[in-house]
Amino acid sequence: MAGGTGMKEVIEAIKANIGRVLVGKEEVTDLLLSAILAGGHVLLEDVPGTGKTMLAKSLAKSMELSFSRVQFTPDLLPSDITGLNYYNQKAGEFIFRGGPVFTNLLLADEINRATPRTQSSLLECMEEHQVTIDGETKKLEEPFFVIATQNPIETAGTYPLPEAQLDRFLMQIPMGLPDAVEERQILERFGKENPYDSLTAVCGREALLNLMKEAEAVYVHPHLMDYLVELVLATRKHSEVEGGVSPRGSLAFYRAARAYALVKGRDYVVPEDIKALAVPVLAHRLVLARTLTGRSTGRQIIEQLLNTVFVPTEEWNT
């Protein structure tokens, strides 16, 4: 294990802490934590009430990160997110008041309810970890992550995220509904009190930054890099895809694979890591052909490619 058992214990502690609040979301937690360790942003997608907001809050509290939540609405302005310069009459000068983006973890709740102009105010923050206001650039504190949520079913009063913004999310993760056993556990767990209230941090900001460095040291066999590249290239050649995965997407795929391996307790990537990440990392980046009838979804296309692209067989830790 890269970094020794200490790093492994920290990761397991974070996962266990979140598991005290969320029921049956182990794989979702692994994906979210992998995205964080890879330095990426996440789009959580599902119907209301599936635990999207609670997952983001539990993650921030577990790692002692500063946290801000913005409820996106049609009347939300870019300055409501990034901040603005206002004139202080007493001081006789303009003073900058930072918006909620000046935090470690920003929860953009129902991001598709804001106008494209407001959505675009996050582009610079997400890509360059900075904001530019009135010609002055201000850096954001590291680490900085955006976890956005959206409801894929309700479309009234929503503005679909443009491809350029979707591409800046490392992963798009569906939460999924619980089964009967999990539903019963939710009732028992939340019937008397909210377990989030008693949640305590299991690591700090510096420990998270160290984990991110450890993820960068995870080994990827050259044949697995070829496999990853072949999957990306296949998206650009698919008959139902107008725009395949970009180099930004392939780099995100590579970073996510290393972080996912670390979360799973290894210091090397295996083919199963790449397969597990292909849909959440690649599917939302595809620009599908609009002229075809009965066309496949991005998820279906990626799943199809996973069944057709050759998987190499080697020893991956050497």
Tokens of 75: 């009347």
How confident is the model over 98-142, as pLDDT tens digits?
899 999 999 999 998 888 888 888 888 999 999 988 888 999 989
pLDDT band at 160 (very low <50, low <70, confident <90, very high): confident
- Rounded Cα–Cα distance for residues 172 and 284 (Å): 7
pLDDT at res. 1: 42
| Of the ranges 49-53, 173-177, 200-204, 225-229, the best mean pLDDT one | 225-229
User: How confident is the model over 24-42, as pLDDT tens digits?
Assistant: 889 999 999 999 999 999 9
Query: Residue 2 — very low, low, confident or very high, per pLDDT cuts 50/70/90?
Result: very low
Distance CA 271, CA 64 (A): 33
CB within 8 Å of 56: residues ≥ 6 apart: 44, 67, 105, 107, 147, 149
Does 318 score more than 80 pLDDT? no
Q: Is the pLDDT of residue 155 over 80?
A: no
Give the span between the Cα atoms of 72 and 157, in whole angstroms.
11
